[in-house]
Amino acid sequence: MKKFLFFATMLAMTSCCNNNTPAIDLTNFDTTVAPNEDFYQYATGGWQVKNPLKAEFARYGAFDVLRENNEKRINELFSAMSKTTAEAGSVEQKISDLYKMGLDSARLNNEGLTPVKADLEAIYAVQEVKALAPLLAQIHNTTANPLFGMGVDADLMNSSMNALYISQSGLGMGDRDYYLDAENAELRKGYEAFLTKAFELAGLEQAAERAAGVVAFETKMAEKFRSSVELRNIAAQYNLMSKAQFVQRYNNFDWEAYLTGVGCGAFETIIVGQPEVLDLINTMLRSESLESIQNYLAAQTLSAAAGYVGDELYAASFDFFGRQMSGTTEMKPRWKRAMGVPNSLLSEAVGEIYVAKFFPEEEKARVLTLVKNLQTALGQHIEALDWMSDETKAKAQEKLATFTVKIGYPDKWKDYSTLTIDPTLSYWENIKRASAWYSAENFAKLGKEVDRTEWFMPPQMVNAYYNPTTNEICFPAAILQPPFYNPTADDAVNYGAIGVVIGHEMTHGFDDQGRNFDKDGDMINWWTEADAEAFQQKSQVLVEQFNKIEILPAKGDQPAVFANGALSLGENIADQGGLRVAYTALQNALGETKPEPIDGFTAEQRFYLSYATLWAQNIRDEEAARLTKLDVHSLGKNRVNATLKNIQTFYDAFGITEGAMFLPAEERVVIW
């Protein structure tokens, strides 16, 4: 649910936000299509032509343009760092050494899979299933999350304190449907072929038989896994057990050895996400052969290591996960892969350097003003709801008023002084060290108060989020650039872009998941029964609208792919709410002023054109199918067309009374 820049110098202002950045780029349009027939194509068709899919991308959109520019910025910082001798133990040393190890293809290819051999030897040295616990702890701390995942996070029922969670995990293809649905048979073959190649490269005999066994093992797991839609039922994932109850129920595993191995301190209770899945794992630890479990753990290890060893394993991984699953035709260049590792593992250290160069302190004030305007508008919407009682409205207003707003970057930076990066060790060994550091940091939070100053995204990430347990909205520095925010643009354009993003994150506090949390971040029902029922009814209309959208037509043995309205419900609610609230905030800002049209478009039209620009993209069919199965966000086209069909002010702005974009009033739904 954690959904998951301004410009510090005149140089940065010039590079990404100069006077040549148009508020609305008329060349983005496709004027051969009428707005009432396909608004997305009308507003972004020209952009799609100008920005063809690059070979390394499965999809390429406005977000990716900004991310690519950011990657170049960060890579320049890293390149400069790597040319100097940094003090041992400094963040500059850690960043530059990780970066240089990722670039050193000669060393990586010379080492091949040698760095992983010790991991595989440890797996196959285990003599009995009961003895797997310490090894699994080590794998969880450093490599992957086979069989289950365990970690510490805010207690959903008492959000001021951290609690221990355990949940389903360990499917190599990620989602259970890849193992169970008939139309995914070719993907299963591709996954098995990848595992066969991985085992061969590792020098393990009977590679094909091992791979087939791993797919069969994971398929058994998948049969009990909850679906992506089922996992959206947050309350159903909260199953509190005492430690004694937990150990007694899942008794085919040495929990004491495991908990000691991962560094988990004392606890009295544990929250089990999917008890029936843990029941299955408990049974499989008794029914499956030791060799079968070892092959599964080896496969998880090899898959995790693919990006940090020689090119052969990475190429095999890309052929399946990139080419077959997503339709990508070319690997990312090595500099991007190398840059991404320290940018991720030392994200706040990189963020601190990033904002010092690209984000001035005074820019926070501008964004905070926008946020305040959006809060006011959302409050107006809540007050005007005709389906909600005054009692629930009061609680909603109280929650809205207590939002914590985080802009740009943290007030307190993460301390990486105890993380060691040693260039004399292999790249893979350093990756494992960093993972173990994060694991130890996480388990150290158990039983302690939640640090509400912590950020869940670094400043250099082009994204934003709402977190329900802290009731906070966060907008990292990197998203506050065109096309999201343009200080030289008119209000209509900025409210249609960053204004909608702000409203979107605020609305997440009241979507189908966020609404289950109160102003303090506790999972408490503050709704009357009648209001909850009204919300469910309206939400179901939105689910059914999206379920009717065909993503890909039937082709050969493959059935047509349709959008999943239940999976994407929260994001669809937030898109609609963000649009409606930002439009109201714009009207509040304009007051009695009636701006003259710009480039022939009214302020209201420019608002909606700006919104559509955010979701301009090209996407491969394979990626469209994959994201429809896995992603809680709708595809860009549907975030525009399907959402706008419910909004009367959109119809008014473009004079739409008929056409494919028009939805009769009685079929529309408005939630927030």
Distance from C-alpha of 22 to C-alpha of 483, rounded to nearest angstrom? 9
Q: Is the pLDDT of residue 9 over 60?
A: no
Query: Across 230-385, where does the E strand assignment appear?
Result: 239-242, 269-272
Q: Supply 472's token pair.
A: 């906070």
Dist CA 591 CA 521 (whole Å): 35
First to last CA, the chain: 19
Parse the chain into domains and list their residue ranges. Answer: 10-58+359-408+453-667, 131-292
CB atoms within 10 A of CB 110: 10
pLDDT in tens, 387-417: 999 999 999 999 999 999 999 999 999 999 9
pLDDT for 302-322, tens place per residue? 999 999 999 999 999 999 999
Q: pLDDT digit string (tens) for 482-518? A: 899 988 899 999 999 999 999 999 999 999 999 999 9
3-state secondary structure (DSSP) of residue 163: strand
Tell me the CATH number of domain 10-58+359-408+453-667, given options 3.40.390.10, 3.20.20.10, 3.20.10.10, 3.40.50.620.
Answer: 3.40.390.10
List the one residue out of 268, 337, 234, 316 whose CA is nearest residue 1.
234
pLDDT at 20: 66
User: What count of other Cβ atoms lies within 10 Å of the Cβ of residue 633?
Assistant: 17
Most confident range, picked from 63-67, 208-212, 481-485? 208-212
* Mean confidence (pLDDT) of the chain: 94
Residue 61, SS3 per DSSP: strand
CA–CA separation, 634 and 549 (whole Å): 10
How many Cα atoms within 13 Å fall on the side-chain side of residue 344?
9
Q: Which residues contact 5 (CB under 8 A, 6 or more apart)?
A: 355, 358, 359, 363, 408, 459, 476, 477, 478, 479, 480, 481
Q: What is the CATH number of domain 131-292?
A: 1.10.1380.10
Residue of 575, 588, 453 lying closest to 502 (CA atoms): 575
Chain segment 427-439, per-residue pLDDT in tens: 999 999 999 999 9
Counting every residue written for the chain, the total comes to: 672
pLDDT at 21: 77
pTM over 0.85: yes
Comparing C-alpha atoms, which of 300, 224, 264, 234 is closest to residue 569? 234
SS3 153: strand
Average pLDDT on 211-222 reads 98
Any bridge partners for residue 474, and if so which? Answer: 406, 465
How many angstroms from the chain centroid is the CA of residue 305? 21
pLDDT at residue 6, rounded to an integer: 22
Sign of the C-alpha dihedral computed for residues 568, 572, 573 and 574 taken in this order: positive
What does the pLDDT read at residue 548?
A: 98
pLDDT at residue 1 greater than cutoff 60: no
Whether the Cβ atoms of residue 236 and residue 275 lie closer than 8 Å to each other: no
